[in-house]
A and B are shown apart, each in its own frame.
Chain A
Amino acid sequence: MDFDLARPIYQQIIDDFKKQMIRGELRKGERIPSQREYAEKARINPNTVQRAYREMENMRMVETLRGQGTYVNISEEDLQMLRKGMARAVLKNFVMEMRALGFDDEETLIMLQAEQTGGEGDNKQ
């Protein structure tokens, strides 16, 4: 995974795990890499990985069993909240970018619907 070095790295580690859980690539009960494995593979500071794992434990995304490893331990309810939360963040960002381009929300909505129904027509000029 490539990190955006202008953003906190521990946050990006957490986001990466969130996405994997949302997509169903990581399911409850599955083991995730040990902190050491993760640090070596991604070539990042072990303390940074430790911070990310600790926060994921606090957010009840994962559980570390002493001597056994770290496992996905997210409830279905939390997973749905995570899913919606991340989608909302993406949407918010999208709307802001569109506004910055000078589109009002109605125009944006129309374009979004057109995009969905395969309406590529007005992109080609």
Chain B
Amino acid sequence: MIEFINVSKQFGATVALNNLNLSFQPGRITGLFGPNGAGKSTSLKMISGLNRPDRGEIRVHGQAPVGCKDSIAYLPEIDHLYPWMNIKQAAGFMQSFYADWDEEKYRELLAFLNLDEQMKISKISKGQRAKTKLLLAAARHSRYLLLDEPLSGIDILTREEIIQTLIRDYREGEQTVIISTHEIDDVEALVDEVVFLNRGQVKLSGNADQLREEKGMSLVEIMKEEFRHAN
């Protein structure tokens, strides 16, 4: 379980999180949705311990995030791979950092995603880079998997490959996945819980199928409806 308790964060004059209270259900794939500047990336960075709240606290499995680094795999939105490395070197780099690196899983994902270890990061396409990022995050046997915009700016076929990988790779009940994205229509069937953020606060959250049942709308339509009134 991941909990945000009265969490606030400001960057200069910009309020990123505004007394945010939120919990992510264990063993679920949660979609973290919201417009630009809603606080999605900031939230994920805080869970992975890369950012600290100004006020309030975050608990991962009852502990402060910094103490849980080993159980959290994080795919950042930015391009964090060293361009001079090839995939093999990038994997070796990750392996040296994390004890939960799963070599067998890495091999399997590599083949499934049609990637070649010898590919150099600086030479591959944007879609291949996105797949490499996913490969490196998912090849760990981590309890928590945080994905920040894993689909943005990627062609539809690659997006489908990534989604299929996530479904194949997901360990029912054991793993907690949070995926932030603008591409809600692509992940409609992938997520089972959703959190809509707006201006650093929770606008709406719940079970995806339950929300569909209550509102008779898809998640995309619910998002549009919620934010039409909000802004």
Contact = CB atoms under 8 A, between A and B. Distances in A.
Contacts of B213: 7-8, 11
B209 A5 contact: no
Interface residues of A, number: 20
Interface in A1-24: 3, 5-11
Contacts of B219: 5
Contacts of B173: 47
Interface residues of B, number: 28
Contacts, number: 64
B14 to A, nearest CB: 34
A5 B168 contact: no
A50 interface: yes
Interface stretch (A37-45, A63-71, A110-118): A37-45
- Secondary structure at the A interface, as helix, strand, loop or mixed, is helix
Given A5-B188, A44-B190, A39 B167 contact: yes
Interface in A21-71: 35, 39-40, 42-48, 50-51
B28 A9 contact: no
Interface of A: 3, 5-11, 35, 39-40, 42-48, 50-51
10 contacts: A5-B185, A5-B218, A5-B220, A9-B189, A10-B209, A43-B160, A45-B189, A46-B172, A47-B29, A48-B189
